[in-house]
Amino acid sequence: MDSAAIDIAPRLNRSQGRERRSRSFGTKLTRAEEAELYQAAKAEGKYAGEWARDVLLREARRSQDDALFTEVVATRMLLVNLIKPMLLGKPVPENWITEAMNGVRAAKHKAAADLRKEYAARDRKES
């Protein structure tokens, strides 16, 4: 069998059963950035273009209200609220813990959104 036919077969199989992709979306990279992206694609066993498409679409579709991120922020808020009185040597009554949990539950979405904005601003400065 012809080696060219062998190399093209996986590409043909990938495109079966899906809408034709005819649009392009590009960016400029340094040589180091390009090498980094090729390495990331290779690590996942994908062609660079396929990997880049997956990453771009995943980021575009990612919910800004990421539940896991919100819960991590809530856990941090709860820990800070509970550890502070303990460090000061004050007892933490059970009803205060319940109030702290209710307060965190009410504020966690805004706190997570604020922290996400802070990270985005920091990322823009570093770019």
Tell me if 23 is assigned to some domain: no
Q: Is the pLDDT of residue 8 over 80?
A: no
Tell me if 92 is assigned to some domain: yes
The reply to whether 94 and 110 lie within a common domain is yes
> What pLDDT was estimated at residue 9?
66
> What pLDDT was estimated at residue 13?
63
The reply to whether 90 and 54 lie within a common domain is no
Nearest to 96 by CA among 109, 111, 86, 107: 86
- Complete DSSP assignment for 19-30: PPP---------
Tell me if 106 is assigned to some domain: yes
The reply to whether 53 and 104 lie within a common domain is no
Tell me if 78 is assigned to some domain: yes
The reply to whether 76 and 116 lie within a common domain is yes
Tell me if 6 is assigned to some domain: no
> What pLDDT was estimated at residue 123?
80
Q: Is the pLDDT of residue 5 over 90?
A: no
**What is the span of the domain harbouring residue 48?**
28-62
The reply to whether 112 and 97 lie within a common domain is yes
Tell me if 3 is assigned to some domain: no
> What pLDDT was estimated at residue 60?
85
Tell me if 83 is assigned to some domain: yes
3-state secondary structure of 11: helix
pLDDT digits (tens, 9 = 90+) for 21-50: 788 888 899 999 999 999 999 999 999 999
pLDDT digits (tens, 9 = 90+) for 42-90: 999 999 999 999 999 988 887 777 889 999 999 999 999 888 888 999 8
The number of folded domains in the chain is: 2
Q: Is the pLDDT of residue 1 over 60?
A: no
